[in-house]
Amino acid sequence: GQQLNQSPQSMFIQEGEDVSMNCTSSSIFNTWLWYKQEPGEGPVLLIALYKAGELTSNGRLTAQFGITRKDSFLNISASIPSDVGIYFCAGQLLLASNYQLIWGAGTKLIIKP
Amino acid sequence: DSGVTQTPKHLITATGQRVTLRCSPRSGDLSVYWYQQSLDQGLQFLIQYYNGEERAKGNILERFSAQQFPDLHSELNLSSLELGDSALYFCASSGVPGRGVSTDTQYFGPGTRLTVL
């Protein structure tokens, strides 16, 4: 089936550091989404990307839709304690006349005190 | 607040039992999705309904079933529960009327934490 490879699996960083994570696939997607999940909560949409090459920012977050449409990255600049959580990428494609989301396994962000 | 509601928030039950989880989508959304998330795991897609009809199936066990009612709320039924079914169950909704069945953006509810003892 369709798969997304999300890396890294986890990150241990110091407050103030920049963070970068990415998702790759052998499939072509028409939309990329980045979600954040905090403990005990449902995932919340951070950024949506709709066009190849698109670069979109949301505060300290920046994400890009890869030119090949097979990958995307998310950067977080100057991390702060509230950035802790699990970040999921999701790619949308058309399968059997239905748009479906394929999910990455998540990147767990931990900020060292 | 995503606008998606789920009840109950917590559920504790015993092996072999049956439970029903309920989800109300955002106002106007026609699609409902169910996900399972085990401890420290990713999101496992279970099933999608669109306007009352099943649209896509993921890794849903035969012991599990779902339905979407005319008022668009959905229920996920889990039967013959096993210890391994303990997990967070999320419902998400999407779908702006007139835009077909594009999943576009899924908005998640707060989840139901199921504990099977």
Locate the chain A residue with the closest alpha carbon to B1.
A44
Chain B residues closer than 8 Å to A44 by CB: 2, 108
Q: Calculate mean pLDDT across residues B47-61.
A: 90
- Judge whether residue B96 has pLDDT over 90: no
Peptide bond into B110 cis (omega under 30): no
Residue-wise pLDDT tens digits, A63-111: 999 999 999 999 999 999 999 999 999 998 877 777 778 899 999 999 9
pLDDT given at position B102: 46
Long-range contacts of B40-48 (CB under 8 A, 24+ apart): B42/A88, B42/A103, B42/A104, B42/A105, B42/A106, B43/A43, B43/A88, B43/A103, B43/A106, B43/B90, B45/A100, B45/A101, B45/A103, B46/B76, B47/B76, B48/A98, B48/A100, B48/B103
Of A42, A92, A97, the CB nearest to B111: A42
Distance CA A64, CA B27 (A): 30
The CA distance from A43 to the nearest CA of chain B, in Å, is 6
Assess whether pLDDT exceeds 50 at residue B98.
no
Residue (of B43, B116, B33, B27) closest to B78 by Cα position: B116
> Among the ranges A65-79, B25-39, B103-117, which has the highest mean pLDDT value?
A65-79
CB B49 within 8 A of CB B66: yes
Q: Which among B4, B103, B107 has the least Cβ separation from residue A99? A: B103
| Count of Cβ atoms closer than 10 Å to residue A14 Cβ | 9
